[in-house]
Amino acid sequence: MFEREKITRIGWEETSFTVPSRHPILAIVAQPRPSLYPTRSSAGALLGQQLASRGYQSCILLGITPEGVEIAAHAARAMGAQFDVIVASFIKLGANLAPIGAMAETAPAEMDPDFQPGMNLLEKLQAAIDESRARVKQDLVLYRTQRPVKKLEGRTAVVVDGQIVWPWKALAAAKAAQGLGAREVVIATPVAAQPAADRIRARQYPLVCPSVVMEQEGHPSPYGDAGADGADRLRSIMIAHEAA
């Protein structure tokens, strides 16, 4: 004799399966978490609509490299705004470690204020900062062929990222935009982790974000059209060149 057993867990899809009624076996099959947006273009269009509804029509959108470039381009198209890219890079003490800060353009580093390195880490920290600065210089060639950012003096600049899990790159980009003369800086993204959103708001930056997730690690796959990292990066570079 077999019975249909059904088990539901939050964040997983419901899964039914057949088990012997006298010897029940607890079996849960995890299903992939659904994406928040079917495509990056639809996410960007929605973000552009939300920015426009808040009165930011005459702003310039700056896509943070690499993940924010395509989102910003579609948002700018949806709201009829100017678009450009802003080059940024995380600072990490190891490839598999969480970032402790970020660099953007030629602005000073933006560091996690909770990170207090001991004397034994100072040399490693300086090496990580130097590596991040080198990546920014390299990406300035890739994304903007070393041309300057479009004029920001006296304008509202909206820095856009693909997903903000750690706030340092967005904050570094905001600092760089201010240094380039922006009158007001807004941070925007289709999805952000709640702790990162809290950090940004604590710095008094307006945040436009249609989807805030509670998990500190963010959403595992916010866009349904996610591809290989290399292909996505190449596409972002091509879009950036079109902004020139």
pLDDT digits (tens, 9 = 90+) for 178-215: 999 999 999 999 999 999 999 999 999 999 999 999 99
Q: What is the pLDDT of residue 235?
A: 84
How would you classify the pairing of strands 207-208 and 191-193? unpaired
The overall longest dimension of the chain from CA atoms, in Å, is 76
Rounded CA-CA distance 137/131 in Å is 10
Q: What is the pLDDT of residue 91?
A: 97
Spell out the domain ranges in the chain.
1-31, 40-242
Rounded CA-CA distance 95/2 in Å is 50
Does the N-terminal peptide bond of residue 66 adopt cis geometry, omega within 30 degrees of 0?
A: yes
* pLDDT tens figures, 88-141: 999 999 988 999 999 999 999 999 999 988 888 899 999 999 999 999 999 999
CATH code of the domain occupying 40-242 = 3.40.50.2020
* pLDDT tens figures, 41-96: 999 999 999 999 999 988 999 999 999 999 999 999 999 999 999 999 999 999 88
Q: Where are the beta strands (DSSP E) in the chain?
A: 2-7, 15-20, 60-64, 82-86, 88-91, 101-104, 110-111, 156-160, 184-188, 191-193, 207-208, 211-213
Q: What is the pLDDT of residue 13?
A: 41
CA dihedral 147, 151, 152, 153 (to 10 degrees): 130
At residue 19 the predicted structure's pLDDT band, cuts being 50, 70 and 90, is very low
Q: What is the pLDDT of residue 95?
A: 85
Highest mean pLDDT among 32-41, 144-153, 157-166: 157-166
Is 60 exceeded by the pLDDT of residue 9?
no
Type of residue at 179: G
Mean pLDDT (the chain) is 88
Q: What is the mean pLDDT of residues 170-178?
A: 98
At residue 29 the predicted structure's pLDDT band, cuts being 50, 70 and 90, is low
Q: What is the pLDDT of residue 86?
A: 97
Indicate the pTM of the whole model.
0.85
